[in-house]
Structure 1
Amino acid sequence: MFCALLSAPQVHTFRGPHWCEYCANFMWGLIAQGVRCSDCGLNVHKQCSKHVPNDCQPDLKRIKKVYCCDLTTLVKAHNTQRPMVVDICIREIEARGLKSEGIYRVSGFTEHIEDVKMAFDRDGEKADISANIYPDINIITGALKLYFRDLPIPVITYDTYSKFIEAAKISNADERLEAVHEVLMLLPPAHYETLRYLMIHLKKVTMNEKDNLMNAENLGIVFGPTLMRPPEDSTLTTLHDMRYQKQIVQILIENEDVLF
């Protein structure tokens, strides 16, 4: 994702002679000669940045952490369909936590969740989150929820947020489902795939409701504000939209086989 060049241009000062990697012409001046992509390291004139496609391949060496990193950038850098932290956490939860009472609702110790976060940021896919290190599965569920909360652009993106909320307000169930499906198609590929994978997992959680006491509505309450946030930082909007956020996630879980 060309976040530095196209979304939020960052002027860069280059030391020594530098040539634009788009037009191959010299960058004049002593300071602020051009801009650099924070993902792949491409260096271009400020004017040339407007013509560079928004599909660069991020350089893994430039990805300093897993948490708080743009979802699409992380996926492209690792050349995966979904963020590996999502895959690793879900595998661990499904291996030993599906029957755990209050799964996702019960919180693990904050400091241990932070430890998991640091392990992923430091070790990537080699992070050890096994029962030997973290016997409490609520630490792993907490780390997964924290990953989603820390995303600079939520899984359900700011661009699609209002469309999902409007879809949730439709009274007719069939029309509501169709509207939700249409908005899903607007999500970027990495966001769509991450959401799809998570909903398949959460459906498995609900299939163990007899033991874990977590149905789709309960999970909607937990994951609504975790997966979607209004574009404007408004407490009033957030409070007003909470029931619709819950409803959207509930619909996604209950209808994952149809919607995805």
Structure 2
Amino acid sequence: IFGVPLQDSIRYANVAISLINDEGHSYIYGYVPIVVAKCGVFLKEKATETEGIFRLAGSEKRIKELKVAFDSPDRFGKGLDWTGYTVHDAANILRRYFNQLPEPIIPLDFYNRFRDPLRNHQAQAVGAIEAQSPSVGEFNPDAAIHAYQQLITELPPLNRQLLLYILDLLAVFASKADQNKMTTANLAAIFQPGILSHPQHDMAPSEYRLSQDVLIFLIENQDSFL
């Protein structure tokens, strides 16, 4: 499950995501890896007000145990009992899963297309942050949201479902930033490598600043993308 393409991990270890339609009926929207769903539910229940969640380290011994559990057939962690594990263990194993994906959640083919709507408009879109490129011209946030709505529909289905799941999860934690100190900027800095990155830009601060700003914008507007 760890370090293998998303399509492969979903084949062996998936959980259905259910949404509620306008009539109040539940329907299956898609599928995410078990490790993402199990960690997401646990963290939403136990950690939304935990200061430094996703930033503080867990126990390396317990994280290795969790990795073995989520990597082992044929349950792949589906029946995992969180007793004895902390929220920081869960947060770290979730980060590790994303960071070990062979390709980010937003595929490399989409990398620049996802960055273009905010290019030259970063400060206007998410506020001034060090290392941003200068703003040029007017910025229309509604047009940017529309552009991302279109881009998200074009993503491969499994990537789209996982992106929307993690954006929703991060928005939940950002909404409690007064308690957990994890603002959208902090969350974007942590999760950007596994969501929107390119190997050619690993050592270019202005490039990953743009990618982080895109992720901030996506988190802050995630309600517009479901």
Superposition TM-score, scaled by structure 1 size: 0.67
The structure 1 residue matched to 2:143, chosen from 155, 168, 175, is: 175
CA distance in 2: counterparts of 1:236 and 1:200, whole angstroms = 29
CA distance in 2: counterparts of 1:106 and 1:227, whole angstroms = 20
Letter of the 2:80 counterpart: D
In structure 1, what is the equivalent of residue 102 of structure 2? Answer: 152
In structure 1, what is the equivalent of residue 46 of structure 2? Answer: 96
Larger Cα-atom Rg: 1
Contact 1:170 1:176 in 2 (8 A): no
Letter of the 1:125 counterpart: G
The structure 2 residue matched to 1:194, chosen from 149, 157, 162, is: 162
Contact 1:160 1:186 in 2 (8 A): no
Letter of the 1:85 counterpart: V
Distance 1:100 1:170, change over 3 A: same
CA distance in 1: counterparts of 2:78 and 2:147, whole angstroms = 40
Contact 1:129 1:140 in 2 (8 A): no
Contact 1:165 1:241 in 2 (8 A): no
Aligned pair 1:247/2:198, yes or no?
A: no
1:175-220 Cα deviation digits (max 9, x unpaired):
3222222222221101110111111111111222221111212211
CA distance in 2: counterparts of 1:128 and 1:226, whole angstroms = 24
Superposition TM-score, scaled by structure 2 size: 0.77
In structure 2, what is the equivalent of residue 52 of structure 1? Answer: none
Task: Note the residue ranges of structure 2 that are not aligned, 5 or more in a row.
Answer: 17-30, 122-138
In structure 2, what is the equivalent of residue 82 of structure 1? Answer: 32
**How much has 1:165 moved relative to structure 2?**
1.9
Identity, % of aligned positions: 25
Distance 1:254 1:234, change over 3 A: closer
**How much has 1:233 moved relative to structure 2?**
4.3
The structure 2 residue matched to 1:225, chosen from 168, 179, 193, is: 193
Letter of the 2:114 counterpart: F
Give the CA RMSD over aligned residues: 2.0
The structure 1 residue matched to 2:63, chosen from 89, 93, 113, is: 113
Map 1:19-98 onto structure 2 (within 5 A): 66-78=1-13, 80=16, 81-98=31-48
**How much has 1:234 moved relative to structure 2?**
4.7
Q: How many residues align?
A: 191
Contact 1:220 1:249 in 2 (8 A): yes
Contact 2:145 2:224 in 1 (8 A): no
Distance 1:253 1:129, change over 3 A: farther
1:102-125 Cα deviation digits (max 9, x unpaired):
111222233432221112112503
Task: Note the residue ranges of structure 1 that are not aligned, 5 or more in a row.
Answer: 1-65
Letter of the 1:133 counterpart: G
CA distance in 1: counterparts of 2:156 and 2:180, whole angstroms = 32
In structure 1, what is the equivalent of residue 179 of structure 2? Answer: 211
* SS of residue in 1 equivalent to 2:32: coil
Letter of the 1:199 counterpart: L
Contact 2:197 2:208 in 1 (8 A): no
Distance 1:117 1:127, change over 3 A: farther
Distance 1:78 1:226, change over 3 A: closer
Superposed structure 1 runs of 4+ greater than 6 Å apart: none
Letter of the 1:69 counterpart: V
